Chains A and B, each alone.
Chain A
Amino acid sequence: MTGDLYGEASDILLELVTDEPNNVAAWTALAKAYDRVGNISGSSDAYRKSLALDPDRIDTWISFGNFYFRGKSYSQATKAYRSALKVDPDNSKATNNLGSALKETGNLKEAVAHFVRATELDAGYALAYRNAGDAYIMLGQYETAIDWLGKATQVDPQNLFGWYWLGRAYVRAGEPKTAVQHFLRVIARRPDLPQVHHDLGEAYYLLREYGKAIDYVKNGMRLSPAAAKSYVTLSWIYIRLGRQKDALAILEEGIEQNPSAPAIHIQMGDIHKSASRHNDALKAYTKTVAVDPDFWTGHYKRGVALYYLSQLDASEVALNEADKLNPSSPSVKHFKGLVALAKNQTDQALSFLTEASEMDRENADILFHLGQAYQRKSHWTEAQTQFEAAFRLNPRKSEVLYGLSQVSGKLDQRAEAREYSRRFKAVSQFEQERDVLMKKLWGKPNSIELRKDLAALLEVNGALSEAMEQLRQAAYLGDESAVEELERLDKLMFREK
């Protein structure tokens, strides 16, 4: 039925309920018709009338819940589905839908329980299996997710969504090879689905089959030119290959296609930032904020870029805006603390950094800066405590080692100070050499020699997986000896494990 037809239907139904105000079916039909034509308040009122007349109609409760779900009013949807289950606690659809609403509100564990219950009530309910799998992905339990998504494909092998979701779960579980098989199965039957091409490209990227990765992401892009995700993913692949110019060019293309996609602007800013072009990064983040003023990440990243450009007052304003939009972000609090430190507002810095560290106890950077704030106040013991906490999280973080050497000296712990100084020197020298090589690589991304030098440096300093990454890229650039080196390192890593 087209919109006009729904319009006509709602007129007729309105006449009907005017003539027969106790016609429950007519009220429900009117609610659905209003929903279709976008008459939200009319639809809501009609559902309420219908349910007031007959509160035991489970289908109406489910439809009312779906109405709220589509409108992203998840707590209202939850209430409606719960009401449906009061009428019939064994209704699989209401159970599944309640799980979906709970999932959207972040209540993943309860959501999973409802999806599982829905499959118990209806063993052939493929969607409930898929939903359970998806919720397990969100919980980071990838193997369990794969089990549930596998069941979904067994229950309904013809449903391509099941295979696609299973592929996604394999990607998340770090098994891109299997994911590729599932995505290819879907594409063989439905070559027109852009998201599947994109995800297949992503899986090839993880397999470091960069040529195929680029091809499939580009397919996705061709099928859906406005989808921001493809441009962002392709730029990542180019960055990995050291093709920074191509990465920026593809993002420019993405902006032409979809100028209002914040993700593309953010990615562009991130690329500039990683190359220390903070001014260009700032421009990109400013565009992000312009296209989506309610996107806290845009304000946050803008504040960070301004901080690196030493524009502390402007940075403070941007970070305050981000904080307002997302008061639970430790990153925003962290940078507010850094701005306060730079402005010599040490008490304020202490307050922000303490807050950030309470939100995220696993962030060595935050703990280091908190230690630094205490250091500024000559509170050496407190500074040492924070540096030690940061050290426990990352014992190779040069600034933490330096901080520990300095406060140990202040606390007259000379032997400790010497030892931390020694460790700092070793790490700092490695970082410096690594940074110099990386800087050279920015200028010559196709230099096999530089990549191999960097790989050797990383290996000597125990960063085996980073070393392998450099060798993989050298191999991609055509260096055969890099392949042998990769095999050697692979064995070495295996032995270490």
Chain B
Amino acid sequence: MSQMFQHLTLRAILLFCILISNPTLSAQPLSFKDVAAERGLRFVHDNGGTDQKFYIETMGSGCCLLDFDNDNDLDVFFLQGTPLPGWKKELTLRNQLFRNDEGQFTDVTGESGLGATSYSVGCAAADYDNDGDTDLYVTNFGEDVLYRNEGDGTFADVTYVANLGNPMWGSSAAFLDADSDGWLDLYVSNYVEYSIDNNPWCGDQRSGQRAYCDPDLFTGVPDILFKNNKDGTFRDISEETNISNLSGKGLGVVPGDFDGDGDLDIYVANDKVMNHLFINDSAGVFREDALFTGVGFNESGQAEAGMGVDFGDYNRDGFPDLFVTNFSGESNTLYKNEGNGFLTDVTFAAGLGQPSLEVLGFGTKFVDLDLDGWLDIFVANGHVIDNIEIINPSYTYAQRKQVFLNNRQSGFSEQTEQIGGDLLIPSVARGVAFGDIDNDGDVDVVISNNGGPANLLLNDGPPRNNWIGLQLKGRLYNLDAIGAKVMVKSKGGTQWSWVNPAASYLASNDKRLQFGLGPDKRADEITIVWPGGGVDRIEKVEANRYYLIQPGGEISAIW
């Protein structure tokens, strides 16, 4: 027990005292407050656009939550656009890193070495070199960049040294140990063939209203899988692993064990063409099988405009289900994992269909917002056509966020209006990262808005229920424990979750796991299935703290 408390700080003890002295927490309604400006998270995205409607302008940029300085809180990294032909502002556009200092953010871009001025799109954060700190991969409209964390608050561009070349329009990326060798490989989803020099005129010819083009007009491209050579370099293995056999229009990516065989498969949300599910044969060679398994299309066999994506066990049956955000007029899509190799589109039956028809979803996540032990869904929306109100007055460019609370009966109900507050402020959301920014146990939301200021939506007030937070750390290899499967059992039932920061849209999320426990004061049992196969079981773990767990069942409290 003494070890458990060795990391406790005075702040955490105070927080703990507040929490246990308030027995009526669950009665309080959810509330979100945008505190970006007051906390110093002053990032304004600029898509570099003019009236020429370059296609890149509308797809937005993302953001990453990572603890780059290893001080046990989440820092925020935003991706930025770059001037496009005709842009004439007196500004320097660059990516920005904000350090979390006790809840206030400080722009540390200058000293970090992360302030690139490329047209940046998405990012993935993980410790690819197993040296104990979090590195960053940035996808660009142009050459992507790998930043190695030097452990002193700075990053070095090691793209060339690492042999990582992706000249295509990269979107979301994910670190995963595809071949189970203990070293994180890198999957990069690529979008379409597009160049500034070839920018067709699209829009309403009758009125002359120019608009961003439809993705149908551009050719899809294959994604890339890079194998980690364990020496700081990577090798493009897309061809030998069957990843580059197919072209898609990739925007969102999540690695997860969808067929339950112990290795990581990869799901890619493609824009208006079939989504891809790459099934891992355990040796890191993949077979695309989205159509047969039921996750390539919606229930009508239509390819949807997939943007953001996440997986989670929303119905607590132990199998990872999938959720994809799509275009307006289409619903977002929930695929229930049947546990037998098939997934079923249950969107409408789960109550997620109609509320998503009028909006265009981007960043999203399964997240237990009210900590009742059941995964809810957060979706950030925003149209892609900036003059949509003129072209089609039924839609708006800036749109509200949405919260769907789990009704514990295999369905959800939208509670956006009821929660209200800053959730209702419309914005043109794109990349969204989820994590416990203020370390209070519930999950907060950072949103990068296209051509506008970012939001930090704090899940406001003390947590509504009891919770338990887990940070898993591998030994020697895969230190982030990406792919680990965790079961938490309490009086309220059994929940499953997986360590995976890569989800949502152009984003990387908190790698820690937060489990809501409802009224339960402790987890009766925590079982961890480590990547590679080891299993640890820990009993009777007190609620409302973050714990660090390592292979062998070693557990210590962080907060």
A contact residues vs B (CB 8 Å cutoff): 245, 248, 277-279, 308-312, 341-344, 346, 372, 375-376, 398-399, 401-403, 405-406, 409-410, 417-418, 421, 424-425, 428, 432, 435-436, 439-440, 443
Interface status of B69 (Cβ within 8 A of chain A): no
Interface status of B302 (Cβ within 8 A of chain A): yes
Q: How far is the CA of A425 from the CA of B531 in the complex (A)?
A: 35
Q: Please state if A399 and B354 are interface contacts (CB–CB under 8 Å).
A: no
- Chain B 176-207, CB within 8 Å of chain A: the 1/0 string? 00000000000000000000000011101110
Q: How far is the CA of A211 from the CA of B108 in the complex (A)?
A: 70
Interface of A is mostly: helix
The interface-forming segment of B259-267, B291-299, B533-541 is B291-299
Residues of B within 8 A of A440 (CB): 217
B contact residues vs A (CB 8 Å cutoff): 200-202, 204-206, 214, 216-217, 273-274, 291-292, 294, 297, 299-303, 328-329, 342, 344, 348-349, 351, 353-354, 357-358, 392-394
Q: Please state if B358 and A310 are interface contacts (CB–CB under 8 Å).
A: yes
Residues of B within 8 A of A436 (CB): 216-217
Q: A311-B394, A435-B216 are in contact. Are A421 and B342 (CB under 8 A)?
A: no
Residues of B within 8 A of A401 (CB): 301
Q: A341-B348, A342-B357, A443-B202 are in contact. Are A421 and B301 (CB under 8 A)?
A: no
Q: How far is the CA of A495 from the CA of B440 in the complex (A)?
A: 76
Q: How far is the CA of A406 from the CA of B294 in the complex (A)?
A: 7
Q: How far is the CA of A218 from the CA of B206 in the complex (A)?
A: 23
Q: A310-B358, A344-B354, A424-B301 are in contact. Are A409 and B342 (CB under 8 A)?
A: yes
For the complex of A and B, the 8 pairs showing the least CB-CB separation, nearest first, are: A402-B301, A310-B357, A399-B301, A279-B392, A436-B216, A309-B394, A344-B348, A399-B300
Choice from B201, B202, B292, B354 contacting A418 with Cβ under 8 Å: B292
Choice from B214, B299, B342, B358 contacting A372 with Cβ under 8 Å: B299
Q: How far is the CB of A111 from chain B (nearest CB, A)?
A: 44
Q: Please state if B349 and A439 are interface contacts (CB–CB under 8 Å).
A: no
Q: How far is the CA of A312 from the CA of B354 in the complex (A)?
A: 8
Residues of B within 8 A of A435 (CB): 216
Q: How far is the CB of A442 from chain B (nearest CB, A)?
A: 8
Q: How far is the CA of A235 from the CA of B216 in the complex (A)?
A: 27
Q: How far is the CA of A409 from the CA of B293 in the complex (A)?
A: 9
Q: Please state if A342 and B348 are interface contacts (CB–CB under 8 Å).
A: yes
Q: How far is the CA of A377 from the CA of B349 in the complex (A)?
A: 9
Q: How far is the CA of A375 from the CA of B302 in the complex (A)?
A: 16
Name 10 extra pairs, CB < 8 A, besides A435-B216, A439-B217.
Answer: A277-B204, A341-B348, A342-B357, A344-B348, A344-B351, A344-B353, A406-B294, A409-B292, A421-B292, A424-B291
Choice from B200, B297, B349 contacting A346 with Cβ under 8 Å: B349
CB-nearest residue of chain A to B393: A279
Q: How far is the CA of A311 from the CA of B328 in the complex (A)?
A: 12
Q: How far is the CA of A327 from the CA of B140 in the complex (A)?
A: 57
Q: Please state if A342 and B292 are interface contacts (CB–CB under 8 Å).
A: no
6 residue pairs from A and B, CB less than 8 Å apart: A309-B329, A309-B394, A409-B294, A439-B217, A440-B217, A443-B205
| A312, A409, A435 — most chain B CB neighbours (10 Å) | A409
Q: Please state if B353 and A342 are interface contacts (CB–CB under 8 Å).
A: yes
Q: How far is the CB of A305 from chain B (nearest CB, A)?
A: 10
CB-nearest residue of chain A to B206: A245
Q: Please state if B354 and A402 are interface contacts (CB–CB under 8 Å).
A: no
Residues of B within 8 A of A376 (CB): 348-349
Q: How far is the CA of A398 from the CA of B344 in the complex (A)?
A: 18
Q: Please state if B354 and A439 are interface contacts (CB–CB under 8 Å).
A: no
Q: How far is the CA of A312 from the CA of B329 in the complex (A)?
A: 11
Residues of B within 8 A of A443 (CB): 200-202, 205
Choice from B204, B214, B294, B302 contacting A399 with Cβ under 8 Å: B302
Q: How far is the CA of A432 from the CA of B272 in the complex (A)?
A: 9
CB-nearest residue of chain B to A428: B301
